[in-house]
Amino acid sequence: MRKLIAGTGWKMNIGAAEAARYAARLLSCLDAASRDLLDLFVLPPFTSLHAAHAAFLSSPVGIGAQNMHWEASGAWTGEISAAMLAEAGCKYVELAHSERLQHFGETYEFVRRKLNAAMDSRLTPILCLGETRQDKSLGRADDVLAEQIGIALADQSASSLPAIMLAYEPRWAIGAANAAPPDYVAERHRALRSVVRQRYGAQAAGDVRIIYGGSVTPGNSEALMDHPDVDGLFVGRAAWSPEGFAEIAAIVARAAMKRKLS
Q: How far is it, in rounded angstroms, from Cα 92 to Cα 106?
A: 19
Active-site residue among 97, 106, 131, 189? 97
**Active site (annotated) includes residue 169:** yes
With respect to ligand PGA, which residue has the nearer C-beta, 20 or 126?
126
Cross-strand pairs, 166: 127, 210
Position 13 contacts ligand PGA (CB under 6 A): no
Work out the number of other CB atoms within 10 angstroms of the CB of residue 138.
12
Contacts of 136 (CB under 8 A, 6+ apart): 170, 172
Nearest distance in Å: CB 206, ligand PGA: 25
- Alpha carbon 35 to chain centroid distance? 18
Q: Which stretch binds ligand PGA (CB under 6 A): 31-39, 111-119, 138-146, 211-219?
A: 211-219
Q: How far is it, in rounded angstroms, from Cα 239 to Cα 50?
A: 20
Length of the chain: 262
Nearest distance in Å: CB 81, ligand PGA: 23
Task: Compose the 221-240 pattern: x for residues touching ligand PGA by CB under 6 A, - for all others.
Answer: -------------xxxxx--
Determine which residue in the list 215, 221, 224, 231 makes contact with ligand PGA, applying CB under 6 A: 215
Active-site residue among 99, 169, 189, 247? 169
Q: What is the DSSP letter of 181?
A: P
Determine which residue in the list 182, 213, 232, 242 makes contact with ligand PGA, applying CB under 6 A: 213
Q: How far is it, in rounded angstroms, from Cα 232 to Cα 250?
A: 11
Nearest distance in Å: CB 174, ligand PGA: 4
Query: Restricting to residues 174-203, which ones interact with ligand PGA according to CB under 6 A?
Result: 174-175
The distance in angstroms from the start CA to the end CA of the chain is 11
Task: Compose the 145-174 pattern: x for residues touching ligand PGA by CB under 6 A, - for all others.
Answer: ------------------------x----x
Q: What is the DSSP letter of 180?
A: P
Determine which residue in the list 6, 20, 38, 216 makes contact with ligand PGA, applying CB under 6 A: 216
Helix axes 16-29, 49-56, angle to 10 degrees: 30
Determine which residue in the list 62, 125, 214, 244 makes contact with ligand PGA, applying CB under 6 A: 214
Cross-strand pairs, 5: 39, 232
**Active site (annotated) includes residue 97:** yes
Q: How far is it, in rounded angstroms, from Cα 3 to Cα 234?
A: 14
With respect to ligand PGA, which residue has the nearer C-beta, 175 or 219?
175
**Which chain residues interact with ligand PGA by CB under 6 A?**
9, 169, 174-175, 213-216, 234-238
Residues carrying an active site annotation: 97, 169
